[in-house]
Structure 1
Amino acid sequence: MSVESLLVFLLVGGVAGWLAGLLVKGGGYGILGNIVIGIVGAVIGGSVFNSLGIYAGGIIGSIATATAGAILLLFVVRLIKRL
């Protein structure tokens, strides 16, 4: 993976984590936490969307997919924290 690809991946993860933190009540874990949640969310969102046959291209599609996965991840984390 090139440095440019890594930077784009981190940027998409950061934006997705930040958006998920805004959209989910009580979300947000700081910049590093948001990047981690966004990156993990990108993997989750990509897997779920691929399973459903939904393909989003480009940077906007990547951010939307990662944000959807990050929101799903935040809901799961909150459910686990309640237990």
Structure 2
Amino acid sequence: MEISGLVSALAIGAAVGLLGRLVLPGRQHIGVLWTLVVGIAAALLGSLLAFVLGVGDTRGVDWLEWLIQIVLAGLGVAALDRALAGTERRPRRRT
């Protein structure tokens, strides 16, 4: 991965995180900062995965790379949301 690929992955990481969050149904329990962190991680991992699969450096727009990044961001947001929802304090029901 070249420096320009790394910089572009970081730059679009925020957008990828937000898009990943938008594809999930319902309300998420994570904040915007965690969404951005997951998006950046998904963008970097997605770029690496696209490079390994041979679709990361194509002519024109790398639609497959973006799709991989968005899917990874959605999975990352869902996993983090599920992990944080389990640690959330819920009021006890009185019986």
Give TM-score, length-normalised by structure 2: 0.56
What is the CA distance between 1:45 and its match in structure 2?
8.9
What is the CA distance between 1:76 and its match in structure 2?
1.1
Pairwise CA RMSD:
3.0
Sequence identity, in percent? 18
What is the CA distance between 1:55 and its match in structure 2?
6.0
Q: Distance in 1 between matches of 2:47 and 2:82?
A: 18
Give TM-score, length-normalised by structure 1: 0.61
Counterpart of 2:77 in structure 1 is: 74
Answer 1 or 2: which has greater helix percent.
Answer: 1
- Measured at CA, do residues 37 and 60 of structure 1 come closer, stay the same or move farther in structure 2, by a change above 3 Å? same
Consecutive unaligned residues in structure 2, runs of 5 or more:
87-95
What is the CA distance between 1:59 and its match in structure 2?
2.7
Consecutive unaligned residues in structure 1, runs of 5 or more:
none
Counterpart of 1:23 in structure 2 is: 23
- Measured at CA, do residues 55 and 29 of structure 1 come closer, stay the same or move farther in structure 2, by a change above 3 Å? farther
Judge conservation of contact 2:16–2:73 (CA < 8 Å) in 1: yes
